[in-house]
Amino acid sequence: MARILAIDYGRKRAGVAVTDPLQIIANSLTTVKSHDLIEFLDHYFAVEDVDTIVVGYPKQMNNMPSEAVVYIDAFLKKIKKRWPEKKVVLEDERFTSKMAFQTMIDGGVKKKDRMNKAMVDAISATIILQSYMASVKIR
């Protein structure tokens, strides 16, 4: 079975999370500079079998896309063109950064370490992936 990969895409960085090959557990993988993400994915897909890419899609409270979708939509076009064989899914990412920050507090991460935005992005990608996996099991 192929892995599922999730991306919390931002202007500066992208958090990346991935499932195990049996698609049971979501794990934080890394954080990559956004302009290096396509190259990172090229290398990752050459080594690992991934059939689904889940991308966090920011929405406002009224369920309308936020202004950040402009650069996310451009990224989505790139990945769909580069890997047309992969399923690309959008997952609502509202509150994932706040949830990631709270997860760090609950996990006992020191205040100084909680300032690490890259860690927040990687945890956010994991939350996006867990949310997607839960929604697929419900369907």
The three-class DSSP label of residue 39 is helix
- Per-residue pLDDT band at 105 (split at 50, 70, 90): low
Higher pLDDT, 117 or 22: 22
CATH code assigned at 31: 3.30.420.140
Indicate if the pLDDT at residue 28 is higher than 70. Answer: yes
Question: What pLDDT, on a 0 to 100 scale, did the predictor assign at position 63?
Answer: 72
Indicate if the pLDDT at residue 36 is higher than 70. Answer: yes
Distances in whole angstroms, Cα of residue 10 to Cα of each of 46, 74, 136: 24, 12, 25
**Structure token digits, residue 38:** 């396509």
Q: Supply the range of the domain harboring residue 38.
A: 3-138
Q: Enter the pTM of the model.
A: 0.85
Question: What pLDDT, on a 0 to 100 scale, did the predictor assign at position 136?
Answer: 82
Q: What tens digit of pLDDT does each residue of 57-93 get?
A: 887 777 777 777 888 999 999 999 999 999 999 988 7
Closest CA to 123 of 109, 134, 135, 139: 109
Number of independent structural domains in the chain: 1
Question: What pLDDT, on a 0 to 100 scale, did the predictor assign at position 135?
Answer: 85
